[in-house]
């Protein structure tokens, strides 16, 4: 018992001494010693609203056919078969996915999407307004009409398909425009091709947090368990799932 008490006393003396030392060091410091000026933080001009591209963004689609043809291709590298009208681009069933010509790793993405206004009462679950946005060609952020339309929770709008359900269902009615704002951190691989750090994502849908810094388990799989395979930068890919889903105002900032 005496030994324990002695130990406690010694620890208290050591702690008090360290505290006095810290206080003495702090007294020698000036405020400017922890103020850093260089390099100066880069100036970026924001858009007129958070929806609009800031000055350092790459605009991937501005509503025109020229912008679509310049920045996007189908999976064969040809001009996309999707239709452009009223400042948006719409999936044309059977023409396949479209992908950005530029490739990306880490980024901030803004994209707006709209499920078809006309809802076939026969179409349910995954059959209603299905499309998707693939990060680096592999990781699908689901686009689906889940307004009054249930499906498996890790396959609904705002999910990373079959990996992470959205935190909430914040879907608007079919026919209304919705937004996704995504902060994407690419996975890192070691030289031998094995995984070093998994991909991470934060997503806001219509301004509401639906994915909070989740760690992807691997590329999206329809059947089976995801498994990472080393890769570099990749395109942004928009899915043709047979439903006439529309997109507009797509911009990205490399991080
Ligand atoms: Mg999909």
**Cα–ligand 1 centroid distance for 35 (angstroms):** 48
Cα-to-chain-centroid distance, residue 40? 28
Look at strands 188-189 and 195-197 and give their pairing.
antiparallel
3-state secondary structure of 249: strand
Would you kindly state where each structural domain of the chain is located, as residue ranges?
A: 2-34, 58-254
For the entire predicted model, the pTM comes to: 0.90
**Cα–ligand 1 centroid distance for 141 (angstroms):** 8
Cα-to-chain-centroid distance, residue 66? 26
CB burial of residue 23 (10 Å; 0-12, 13-18, 19+): exposed
Whole-number Å distance between alpha carbons of 240 and 93: 6
CB burial of residue 96 (10 Å; 0-12, 13-18, 19+): middle
- pLDDT score for 4: 57
**Cα–ligand 1 centroid distance for 127 (angstroms):** 10
**Cα–ligand 1 centroid distance for 241 (angstroms):** 6
**Cα–ligand 1 centroid distance for 218 (angstroms):** 17
Q: Which tens digits make up the pLDDT trace of 42-57?
A: 999 999 999 999 999 9
- pLDDT score for 117: 96
Cα-to-chain-centroid distance, residue 81? 26
The answer to whether residues 149 and 124 touch, using CB atoms and an 8 Å cutoff, is: yes
Distances (CA, A) of 137 to 16, 179, 198, 233, 234: 57, 20, 15, 9, 6
**Cα–ligand 1 centroid distance for 61 (angstroms):** 20
**Cα–ligand 1 centroid distance for 130 (angstroms):** 5
- pLDDT score for 19: 73
**Cα–ligand 1 centroid distance for 219 (angstroms):** 14
Q: Which tens digits make up the pLDDT trace of 190-246?
A: 999 999 999 999 999 999 999 999 999 999 999 999 999 999 999 999 999 999 999
**Cα–ligand 1 centroid distance for 76 (angstroms):** 20
**Cα–ligand 1 centroid distance for 129 (angstroms):** 9
Whole-number Å distance between alpha carbons of 116 and 23: 65
- pLDDT score for 8: 56
Angle at alpha carbon of residue 151, lines to 148 and 154, rounded to 5°: 120
Whole-number Å distance between alpha carbons of 75 and 57: 25
**Cα–ligand 1 centroid distance for 2 (angstroms):** 69
Least confident range from 3-7, 97-101, 145-149, 245-249: namely 3-7
The answer to whether residues 56 and 252 touch, using CB atoms and an 8 Å cutoff, is: no
**Cα–ligand 1 centroid distance for 32 (angstroms):** 52
**Cα–ligand 1 centroid distance for 142 (angstroms):** 5
**Percent of the chain's residues with pLDDT above 90:** 88
| In this structure, CATH architecture of domain 58-254 | Sandwich (2.60)
């Amino acid at each position: 018992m005496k030994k324990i008490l002695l130990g406690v006393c010694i620890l208290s003396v050591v702690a008090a001494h360290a505290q006095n030392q810290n206080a003495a060091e702090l007294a020698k410091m000036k405020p400017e010693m922890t103020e850093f000026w260089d390099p100066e933080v880069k100036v970026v001009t924001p858009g007129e609203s958070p929806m609009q591209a800031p000055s350092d963004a790459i605009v991937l689609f501005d509503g025109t056919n020229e912008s679509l043809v310049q920045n996007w291709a189908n999976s064969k590298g040809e001009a996309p078969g999707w239709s452009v009208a009223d400042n948006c681009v719409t999936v044309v069933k059977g023409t396949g996915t479209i992908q950005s010509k530029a490739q990306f790793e880490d980024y901030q993405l803004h994209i707006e999407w709209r499920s078809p206004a006309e809802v076939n009462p026969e179409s349910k679950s995954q059959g209603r307004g299905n499309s998707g946005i693939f990060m680096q060609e592999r990781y699908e952020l689901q686009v689906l009409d889940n307004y009054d339309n249930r499906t498996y929770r890790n396959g609904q709008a705002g999910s990373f398909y079959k990996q992470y359900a959205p935190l909430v269902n914040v879907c608007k009615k079919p026919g209304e425009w919705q937004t996704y704002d995504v902060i994407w951190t690419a996975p890192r691989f070691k030289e031998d091709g094995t995984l070093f750090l998994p991909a991470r994502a934060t997503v806001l849908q219509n301004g509401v947090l639906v994915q909070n810094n989740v760690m992807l388990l691997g590329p999206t799989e329809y059947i089976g368990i995801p498994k990472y395979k080393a890769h570099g930068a990749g395109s942004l890919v928009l899915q043709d799932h047979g439903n006439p889903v529309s997109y507009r105002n797509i911009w990205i900032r490399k991080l």
